Homo-oligomer: A and B are copies of this chain.
C-alpha cells in the first residue's frame, strides 16, 4: 500500500499539533503540509522534533494532497473546505462548520449566516462507529464535538434499541480538560484560574446542545459542561431512566454487544473508567451501573483524541481506503 499525503490547516492549535503527533507515527499517511489557519500568519518553528515547520496558509498547497484536516475556528473552515474539495481532496473538518444539518439552527447557534450552506447536505457527521460506511464514501466529514462524542457513544445504542423511557429527561454531566478551551491566553485559561479550581459553564446554553439533540434524535438531553484542572481528558456521567422492566444489566448488555468488535470502544464489566486509561489515545471506555431509580453511564475519552484529532484520523483513514486503526492503536497512549 503506497503512502498517501495530507495537509493540516490550523496546525499550531492543540488539535492540529495532536494530528501532527499522530501522523508522525502513521505507517501510511504523511503530513505533506502543516499550515496556519490564516494566509498572513507568521510561520511557527516546530515545537517538537516530530513536527514540521508550520507555514502560513496557502490554498494552492491543497492541490497535491489526498486529504485535508481543518483545525480552524468555526466559520473559517468553510472556505478552505470548498477549495480543498475543488482540488479533489477528502476533507475532515474538526470545526463546527458542518456538524448541524439545518443552516438556520447553525445561524442561531453561531450568530451569523452559514458560510457554505451548499455543502451542508453532503457533509457526513463522523461519529465513526455509527457512520462507518457513510464516512468511507464521503468527500466531507464533520468531525463531532468532543462533548457529543463522549455522550453519544454510550447513549445512541440505548436510544436506538428503545431501552430508555421516552419521556424521561437524560442528564449528561460532562467534565473536560482545559485544552478544550484552546491555545489562546485568556482569563479562563490562566493557570491561576484553572489550577486548584473547577466550575460549570454554559449551563443551559452550550453550543454543543443542538449538535447533541440532532445526533441523538431527541431534545430530552440536559447537558452541563465543566472545566477540569487537567490539560486533557473528558468524562461524561450520564443519567438515564430505563424503559419499564429494563435493568442496568440489560443496558450494559446492549452496549457490550453493540461495541463487541470495535477497536476503540470498551464496555466495562465492572469498575469505572478513569481519564488516565484513555489519555493520548483514540479509546472510549464506558461503564454502566444502577443507582436508585436511574442508571448511570460513564464514558471517558481524551478530548484531543477520540474527541477530536484521533477520531478525525480514524475518519480520514476510512475515507482514503486505509486500515481504520492505522496510526491509532499502538504506542500512542502514556
By a beta-carbon cutoff of 8 Å, the part of chain A in contact with chain B is: 14, 18, 21-22, 24-26, 47-50, 169, 171, 173, 175, 178-179, 183, 185-187, 189-201, 203-204, 219-224, 226, 228-233, 235, 237, 239, 241, 266, 272-277, 279-281, 283, 287, 289-294, 296, 298, 300, 327, 329-334
Chain B residue nearest in CB terms to A213:
B292
Task: Indicate whether A220 sits within 8 Å of B329 (C-beta atoms), given known contacts A194-B191, A237-B173.
Answer: no
Q: Using Cβ atoms and an 8 Å threshold, which residues of chain B touch A49?
A: 266, 281, 283, 329, 333
Inter-chain contact B330/A291, CB cutoff 8 Å: no
Inter-chain contact B200/A272, CB cutoff 8 Å: yes
Chain B residue nearest in CB terms to A205:
B291
Inter-chain contact B183/A185, CB cutoff 8 Å: no
Inter-chain contact B199/A272, CB cutoff 8 Å: yes
Chain B residue nearest in CB terms to A227:
B274
Inter-chain contact A196/B230, CB cutoff 8 Å: yes
- A49–B284 Cα distance when bound, in Å, is 11
Give the residue of B185, B190, B229, B241 whose beta carbon is less than 8 angstroms from that of A230: B229
Nearest first, the 5 closest Cβ-Cβ pairs linking A and B are A25-B331, A204-B291, A199-B274, A191-B194, A173-B173
